[in-house]
A and B are shown apart, each in its own frame.
Chain A
Amino acid sequence: MLEIKNLHAAVDGKEILKGLTLSIGAGEVHAIMGPNGSGKSTLSYVLAGRAGYDITEGSVIYDGEDLGAMAPEVRAAKGVFLAMQYPVEIPGVTTITFLKTALNAQRRQRGEPDLDAVGVLKLVRAKAKALNVSEEMLKRALNVGFSGGEKKRLEILQMALFEPRLAILDETDSGLDIDALRLVAEGVNSLRSPERAMLVITHYQRLLDYIVPDRIHVLAKGRIVAEGGKELALELEAKGYEHIVGQAA
Chain B
Amino acid sequence: MTALSAIALSEARRAKAAALVRERGLPHRRIEEWKYSDLRAALGEAGIGAVVAEYLITNLPYGMDVWDLTRQDPPAWVTENFAGSTDNTMSAASLALADGGIALRVPAGTTLTDPLKLDFTGAGHVRALLVVEDGASLNLVEGVGPAEFRNVGFEIVLGKGARLEHLRICPALEDAVLVEEAAVRIAAGGVYRGHFTGFGARLSRMELEIALQGEGAQAHLSGVALLDGARHSDVTTHVTHAAGNTNSTQLFKHVAAAKGRAVYQGKVTVAQGANGSDSLQTAKALLLGETAEADLKPELEIFADDVKCAHGAAVGDLDVESLFYLRSRGIPQAQARRMLLQAFLEDAVAEIANIDNRELARTEVLTALEAVT
Contacts and interface: CB of A to CB of B under 8 A. Distances in A.
A90 B343 contact: yes
B347 A71 contact: no
Interface stretch (A81-89, A130-138, A225-233): A81-89
Given A101-B331, A162-B330, A51 B325 contact: no
A185 B348 CA distance: 40
A105 B346 contact: no
B89 to A, nearest CB: 38
B325 to A, nearest CB: 4
A82 B328 CA distance: 7
Contacts of B319: 88
Interface string A72-85: 11011100001010
Interface string B331-343: 1110110011011
A73 B335 CA distance: 11
Interface string B156-192: 0000000000000000000000000000000000000
Interface in B313-355: 319-322, 324-333, 335-336, 339-340, 342-347
B252 to A, nearest CB: 15
Contact of A49 (B328, B339, B342): B328
A72 B328 contact: yes
Given A51-B320, A90-B322, A92-B346, A101 B328 contact: no
Interface in B93-107: none
Nearest to A53: B324
Contact of B328 (A48, A98, A109): A48
Contact of A91 (B325, B327, B330, B347): B347
A84 B329 CA distance: 11
A92 B347 contact: yes
A236 interface: no
B268 to A, nearest CB: 25
Nearest to A93: B343
A73 B324 contact: no
A88 B347 contact: no
Interface string B2-40: 000000000000000000000000000000000000000
Given A49-B328, A105-B332, 7 more contacts: A48-B324, A51-B320, A73-B328, A73-B333, A76-B327, A91-B343, A162-B330
Interface of B: 319-322, 324-333, 335-336, 339-340, 342-347
6 contacts: A48-B328, A93-B342, A101-B339, A102-B329, A105-B332, A106-B330
